[in-house]
């Protein structure tokens, strides 16, 4: 049956429920990992403190005995780890006796003023091309769409979330969001193609996510990942398992459960610790059931992008531009176009994140601990509402074709440009060894194939393990 061009590019309406269960599970897992890291850091600090207490202090040179307190002001300027210039000034003046001063609220006071400039979103193609001068050549239809675009409310929500987080940290004198992570988003725009297709445009940097697992496609993983308390087996995008091959990370979860149960049985374990262990064991058991039932993307092998969970769980009837898990997307950096999907949900206070596979394609030096792009030069285009009704394992050829069609709705790619072709890098089973020849038999050439006969079955071989290290917390 012949179809018109209009029919081919007309967006299909697909109604899918928000993946709240997946997102809630993912948030719980990340929270548990952060709490585990916090406890480990506290234990290290306590150990360092105890060590310092037992060391013999050095004898300091004798100083003249003071006859009065030192008065005046002392200023100090330094740069915090977050990249913020920090100026302090302590002023000491003469007061009354201590029993009076301790009741005076003004005798010991501090003021803490933090100045933040909220950025203005880029709204024109000229502003966008200050970050990537090739955008109009790569996507010739983009300038016309940007001219009619509206700034996404999510841009303002993102920076409200950042400043709220900073205020909360400043109020408790905790470590602040870094300047780099504060200014990680150039803009978010709502674009609309001539066909009516809604497009979510994001200009940002690129951080790295290295989570995910799939026993069907990768039945073995390195022991440092299997035993890691930080590596997350899940991604927001998942699908029902296709084989009985177990997820390799189940073994690590089972060992952690056994260790937790052993500690629970010890008489000296404090009550507070036991409560935490029970919660932890319950969380690990839920994770095992999830890994037995479903498979997930693998960041080291699959190209996908990450969108804040606050956006991908938004009500689609109220915000039809908001990306959803599984929506098709393209990433543009320089003059390269990379097809992908929205594969995972990330923190609500930062944007610009992609899988390790995507990161290494853009910058081979990328790792779970090293982002590929630190400048705001990466464009993410998500074709809202484009995800498939039924989730399936990654099909890179299909992903590329779908992204090519969706780009066609907004004017296609420029002359001389094309979408990147992803290769399947997952380890493949080795070819089976030939059966040994019978004693005394002379091996001859293979006989002619019988028409219509099936190929001889081959024994399954466990593929080789990947080489990436476990993920760093917070990425």
Would you state the pLDDT for residue 139?
Answer: 98
Rounded-to-integer distance, Cα 137 and Cα 133, Å = 8
Would you state the pLDDT for residue 122?
Answer: 96
Would you state the pLDDT for residue 14?
Answer: 42
Would you state the pLDDT for residue 463?
Answer: 43
Would you state the pLDDT for residue 396?
Answer: 98
- The 10 Å Cβ neighbour count of residue 399 is 21
Would you state the pLDDT for residue 20?
Answer: 64
Q: Is the dihedral angle over the CA atoms 115, 121, 122, 124 positive or is it negative?
A: negative
Per-residue pLDDT of the chain (475 residues; tens, 9 = 90+): 444 434 434 444 444 444 666 666 666 666 666 666 666 666 676 676 667 666 655 665 677 777 666 666 666 767 777 778 888 888 888 899 888 888 998 888 888 888 899 999 999 999 999 999 999 999 999 999 999 999 999 999 999 999 999 988 888 878 888 999 999 999 999 999 999 999 999 999 999 999 999 999 999 999 999 999 999 999 999 999 999 999 999 999 999 999 999 999 999 999 999 999 999 999 999 999 999 999 999 999 999 999 999 999 988 778 999 999 999 999 999 999 999 999 999 999 999 999 999 999 999 999 999 999 999 999 999 999 999 999 999 999 999 999 999 999 999 999 999 999 999 999 887 666 666 665 665 555 554 443 444 444 444 444 444 434 444 433 3
């Amino acid at each position: 049956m012949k179809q018109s061009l209009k029919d081919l590019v007309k967006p299909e309406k697909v109604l899918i429920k928000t993946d709240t269960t997946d997102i809630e599970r993912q948030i719980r897992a990340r929270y548990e990992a952060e709490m585990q890291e916090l406890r480990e850091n506290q234990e290290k600090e306590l150990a360092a403190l105890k060590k310092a207490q037992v060391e013999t202090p050095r004898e300091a040179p004798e100083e003249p005995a003071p006859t009065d307190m030192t008065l005046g002001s002392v200023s100090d300027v330094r740069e915090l780890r977050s990249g913020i210039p920090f100026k302090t000034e302590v002023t000491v003046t003469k007061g009354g006796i201590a029993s009076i001063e301790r009741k005076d609220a003004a005798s010991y006071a501090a003021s803490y003023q933090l100045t933040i400039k909220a950025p203005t979103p880029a709204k024109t193609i000229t502003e966008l091309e200050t970050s990537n001068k090739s955008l109009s050549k790569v996507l010739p239809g983009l300038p016309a769409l940007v001219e009619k675009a509206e700034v996404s409310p999510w841009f303002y929500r993102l920076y409200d979330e950042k400043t709220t987080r900073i205020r909360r940290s400043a109020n408790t004198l905790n470590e602040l969001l870094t300047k780099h992570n504060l200014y990680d988003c150039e803009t978010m725009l709502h674009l609309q193609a001539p066909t009516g297709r809604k497009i979510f445009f994001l200009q940002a940097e690129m951080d790295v996510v290295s989570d995910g697992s799939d026993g069907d496609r990768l039945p073995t993983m390195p022991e440092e990942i299997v035993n890691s308390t930080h590596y997350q087996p899940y991604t927001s995008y998942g699908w029902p398992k296709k084989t009985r091959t177990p997820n390799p990370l189940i073994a690590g979860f089972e060992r952690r459960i056994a260790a937790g149960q052993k500690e629970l049985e010890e008489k000296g374990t404090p009550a507070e610790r036991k409560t935490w262990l029970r919660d932890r064991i319950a969380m690990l058991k839920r994770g095992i059931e999830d890994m037995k039932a479903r498979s997930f993307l693998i960041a080291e092998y699959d190209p996908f992008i990450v969108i804040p969970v606050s956006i991908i769980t938004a009500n689609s009837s109220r915000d039809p531009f908001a990306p959803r898990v599984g929506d098709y997307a393209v990433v543009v950096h320089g003059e390269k176009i990379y097809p992908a999907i929205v594969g995972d949900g990330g923190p609500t206070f930062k944007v610009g994140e992609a899988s390790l596979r995507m990161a290494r394609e853009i910058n081979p030096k990328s790792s779970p601990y090293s982002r590929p792009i630190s400048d705001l030069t990466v464009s993410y285009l998500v074709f809202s509402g484009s995800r498939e009704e039924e989730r399936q394992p990654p099909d890179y050829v299909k992903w590329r074709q779908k992204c090519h069609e969706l780009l066609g709705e907004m004017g296609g790619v420029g002359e001389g440009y094309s979408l990147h072709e992803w290769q399947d890098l997952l380890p493949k089973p080795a070819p089976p060894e030939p059966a040994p020849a019978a004693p005394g038999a002379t091996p001859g050439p293979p006989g002619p194939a019988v028409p219509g006969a099936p190929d001889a079955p081959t024994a399954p071989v466990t593929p080789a393990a990947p080489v990436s290290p476990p993920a760093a917390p917070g990425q």
